[in-house]
Amino acid sequence: MTDLPLSGVRVIDLTRILSGPFCSMLLGDLGADVIKIEAPGGDHVRGQGEKIDGLSWYFASFNRNKRSVVLDLRDPQGRAVLERLLTDADILTENFRPGVLNEMGLSAERLAEINPTLIVVSVNGYGSTGPYADRPAFDFIAQAMSGYMSTNGTLESGPLRTAPPMTDLIAGLYAALGAVAALRGREAGGPAQRVEASMMMSMMSMLAYLSANALATGIDPVPTGNDHPIASPYGLFRTQDGDIAVAPSTVPILRRFLTELGLAHLLDEPRFADNAARLENRTEMNALINAALAKDTQENWISRLNSAGVPSGKVQSLTEALADPQVAAQEMVMDVPHPGHGTVRMTGFPMKFSETPLALRHPAPDLGAQTDAVLTDAGFDADTIATLRRDGVIG
């Protein structure tokens, strides 16, 4: 197999739960050798979510392409082992609160002494500076604090979170992107540096036209539910037998949409002539569209509209989406053999490489499964490994 983009890169991963493990999983998917350092009790996610044959599928889905080493970092011997592993690493990933690495004796100065070419990638809640730097963080709080939650829902429902932990995932994605950029910079002769991504700031960066308009006007957006905040018509509409999502995001697409419905004449009326007018009269326009759509079925409308170049689709349940033929064609659901735990189904690789397609090289590891192998590779002899295990430093 041709080397993957990050083949030969070694990552020492101190992260746990989700934001950091998502970052390190992405690096592992891209070919890096990710060594997951776990406390004797293991990552908390090992005990969360649905378990089959003793394995959390939640853990398995975010810790593939990693090797597990159990190491007690509260013990000075454990920290000494970690420092030795860091000497030939390229990247250290961590998602502790700011300052915890310093408390562990791994200040920026100490890390530079151990390995002057080490790139340190940190994921945290609010950033390492500012009045909230020391606050504990969680996805729900970051969704609320970023302004994101206030834009969801409707005036009647009040603010709503999104079901997936978006701030964790976006921060992890930014951290992985930052890690790759820092590697590229180092290879080009630049310095090794620290990369940081926080949950709150990462979420804020995704608010797009909502934040742009708020900055321009000083006015908060009004939550509009499934209707688009700045475009109309756009959203969910009712057919004869169910809802469809329709996104006529430009005037040409809108004209095709209304033509297909027999409503093109509406664009000649002052109340619907431009987007501002359509936003003001959204309720009336949506009612006219729903009345037209009620003349045919969901399936037929989706076929007709897409054939006319109007983006539309069904609101699928999650199980329907996972079984969708397009998802299958994109290999976005994988069956992964896990020795001792049967076969695990998980989402696949969203990044597609033409010459070096991503692959699952290792299923999510059992706790401490590679401790001996990793320490042996780092130069520890069998007697030393046995002593460290007897002392409870490794597992």
Active site positions, annotated: 168
The residues, ordered by sequence, that sit 6+ positions from 34 with a Cβ below 8 Å of its Cβ are 11, 13, 24, 25, 27, 28, 65, 66, 67
> Exposure of 390 by Cβ count < 10 A (0-12 exposed, 13-18 middle, 19+ buried)?
exposed
Q: Whole-angstrom Cα distance, residue 205 to residue 35?
A: 30
Provide DSSP, 139-206: HHHHHHHTSTGGGSSBTTT-----SS-HHHHHHHHHHHHHHHHHHHHHHTT----EEEEEHHHHHHTT
How far is Cα of residue 361 from the mean position of the Cα atoms in its chain? 20
Structure-token pair, residue 232: 């109309």
Give the CB-side neighbour count of residue 153, counting CA atoms within 13 A.
Answer: 14
CA distances from residue 220 to 141, 146, 234, 283, 300 in whole angstroms, order as listed: 19, 13, 20, 21, 39
Between CA 389 and CA 392, with CA 391 as vertex, the angle to 5 degrees is: 65
Angle between helices 282-293 and 251-261 (to 10 degrees): 50
DSSP state for residue 394 in the 8-state scheme: B
Specify whether the CB–CB gap between 243 and 315 falls below 8 A. Answer: yes
DSSP 8-state class, residue 97: P
Cβ–Cβ under 8 Å, residues 311 and 247:
yes
> What Cα–Cα distance (Å) separates residue 367 from each residue in 71, 86, 179?
11, 20, 26
Kind of pairing between the strands at 10-13 and 91-94? parallel
Contacts of 145 (CB under 8 A, 6+ apart): 126, 132, 200
